[in-house]
Amino acid sequence: MSAVLPATWLRGTPVCFLRGTLKRVIAIYPGSFDPLTNGHLDLIQRGAKIFDELVVAILRNSEKNALFTVDERLEMLRAGTGQWSNVRVESFEGLLVDYARIRGASAVLRGIRVVSDYEYELQMAWMNRKLDPTLETIFMMPAGAYSYLSSRIVREIASLGGSLAGLVPASVDVQLRARLGVAPPLAPK
């Protein structure tokens, strides 16, 4: 490319423009994932297409009363994300901005389903920007099929014996029902 361009054009042109982008973009998708849902997997799949590396990170929060342990959730996520070579699953404690700095991440991926999600996520994004102005937050809407889906709703449906078909991976359905002591719903006649 440089052989055919005039020398005056090359002066001041960033090397990355001539050779392609050199910077790897690492993003973190933080959450509790208690349990993993197909909505989470939708965002992970789409985020894996956008970022060079996507770190799906479970916050270790002792104040939250989780249904599954962090290790169980890590296992669920690793099983659910194994097909994407650029997705890594980890857990962390403390501030997200500190964890992002340690991981070399420049972006945070967050899902927005409804207006109330946006209000909360916007506050968090502003606070993260205050703590680290170099960390960008990327908001992504879920696919329409998952716009109503949350881990809380999935837990409630499972506890009442409802079908989780299409809401969670089959392995998560089995683990969730076992944890809650609830049998799978009867097949329709």
Residues noted as catalytic: 40, 64, 113, 151
Q: Strands across the sheet with 53-59, in order?
A: 87-92, 53-59, 26-31, 107-111, 136-140
Helices (H), the chain: 7-10, 15-19, 38-50, 70-81, 96-103, 115-131, 151-159, 170-180
CA 89/CA 85 separation, integer angstroms = 11
Minimal CA–CA distance to 168: which of 39, 49, 69?
39
CA 15/CA 167 separation, integer angstroms = 46
Minimal CA–CA distance to 161: which of 129, 126, 125, 186?
186
CA 2/CA 97 separation, integer angstroms = 40
CA 105/CA 50 separation, integer angstroms = 14
